Amino acid sequence: MVVTRRATVRHLLTSPHLRAGSLLGGEAGLDAPIGDVIVRARVEPELPPIEGSVVVLDVERLGDHLYQVDQAIRVISDSGAVALLIVNQARDVGPSVRRLANRFEVPVFEIDSGDVMALAQSLRSELLFPDIEHAAAVDHALDSFDRRLVLTPDGVVDVISDLMNMDCCLMAADRVVIAGPRIEIGGRRLADSNHHYVDHSLESALHSVPIAIVPGEEPAYWLIAESEGSDSAQRTLASLMRLGAWYLATILASARVNAERDARRRITLLNEILDTTEVSEAGIANQITALGWTTTGWNTGLNIQLRGSVDSGRVLNLHAEMRQRLGDAGIDGPLIERTDGWSGWISDPKEPPVDSYPTIVRSIASALTGFVGSHSDLTAHAGVGRPHTELVGLRRSLSEAREASMISHARGREASGAAHIDQIGVQRILMGWFASEDFASFAHTVLEPLIAVDPDGQMLRTLEVYLDANCSATAAAVKLDVHRNTVANRVERVCLVLGVRLEDPETRLSLQLACRMLHLDR
């Protein structure tokens, strides 16, 4: 939360309206925070001033009863008021005032002459000016939101940025900027609950407010701003950000509902394309046309599989980004969300030449490299089918693409990759057995003793890399970034746990396939 320091007596005494006055005593109380400036004809115990107030007293009206100044100091101290400002003092109030001011730590300031009411009003205006600015900014933001002038995340961010004249952005949980300019977080902390938080670890204060689309969910977004402003500016920014976060939650929730509705429509259509036993091909073609898509000509299916921290909600949130990245790479066509990634196709009026396949694969691989670079907790592997005609051909190409993406994932050790169905050679022949339930059971049975003693997967990973490196401890050490002796020791322990000897080629092949299956199954 923002800790905003209120103006103190020391601040108030620097006002131009008090330039001609002087401090009589009570320096120890100068840092007391002020709540208000009030005018009193007398300061009496029966009607004490409010806590935190500065009392303006017209001494001229006291006449010869200057003892009441002493009484005022005592009452102010007892009531929690913070200072006494005496105006129109015609003669010296005496040393007792100074002694009492110092004793009770009540600053006493005198100014020779002036309009008491006008002076108090001027001081009050200075004191309340930040609150007036704060209220005006909040009112402006509420007015913009209430009149529906702001309908997008960019619009909300712009309102806050314009009012505060500072950068503000909306960032997703994976720190991808959704709206506004990027603000570097570095090692600074973000709010971890449904509250506003400020990190003061650097010169610029980092404000953040978490946004959960559904109550009870983990935050999916953060509204973030960076400010070097005054305390009052920080307070105003905090209020605007809380308002903005509430409004953004409604915008994002509405967008999610619409996106989920559209996604359900697309995934239903994909399922019908892949299985037309109950829906006529004419009906499917009409749905494809209604979505602005086409299957006319030659259709090349593609399949993208995500692994890691992925679910249907996250795939939905990342859909627009994936479309953009594929479009930037020259891959333009329908893209349909699945629970673990996307399926889609590219349509061409003429049959694409065989030599165009590598170009498509490289383009998709480039898009996925950029994608996983922005989402380090994910891996992404794609498969591309052959081009076929009509709806029945599209179904075949999509099945080929799915098969190719599974093999790309199973054989890949990088965070992303892509493969064409015609590029995977003998691996495709093995795919029928490699992905079967029988082989999955075999792989888990073979590796179960190692998995049981290897909770962090370190030895299993070493075994995989060692086998892929043709049992070269040196090459595996480079890949794992450890010493070759470490690799040798781990492999020796693996052999003891599994009860195998890696000198046997059939044993090496079985373990390598089992590791592949386990990697694919994860």
Return mean pLDDT, the chain: 82
CB 175 within 8 A of CB 208: no
The lowest-confidence range among 102-111, 225-234, 320-329 is 225-234
- At 429, the amino acid letter reads I
Helix, coil or strand: residue 295: coil
Segment 460-468 shows an average pLDDT of 88
Q: What pLDDT was estimated at residue 370?
A: 92
Q: For residue 103, what pLDDT band results from cuts at 50, 70 and 90? A: very high
Q: For residue 424, what pLDDT band results from cuts at 50, 70 and 90? A: low
How do residues 170-194 score in pLDDT, each as one tens digit? Answer: 988 778 888 888 988 888 888 886 6
User: Sheet harboring 108-111: ordered strands across?
Assistant: 22-25, 108-111, 83-87, 53-58, 36-40
Please, where are the H alpha helices in 66-217?
67-79, 95-104, 116-146, 153-164
Q: What pLDDT was estimated at residue 521?
A: 53
- Residue 135 confidence (pLDDT) above 60: yes
- Residue 55 confidence (pLDDT) above 50: yes
Predicted structure pTM score: 0.49
Domains identified in the chain and CATH numbers? 9-126 (3.40.1390.20), 150-253 (3.30.450.40), 275-424 (3.30.70.270), 437-521 (1.10.10.2840)
- Counting residues of the chain whose pLDDT is more than 90, the rounded percentage is 15
How far apart, in whole angstroms, are the C-alpha atoms of residue 367 and residue 370?
5
Q: What pLDDT was estimated at residue 429?
A: 44
Q: What pLDDT was estimated at residue 90?
A: 62
Q: What pLDDT was estimated at residue 356?
A: 87
Helix, coil or strand: residue 84: strand
The lowest-confidence range among 96-105, 325-334, 505-514 is 505-514
**Do the strands 83-87 and 168-172 form a parallel or antiparallel pair, or are they unpaired?**
unpaired
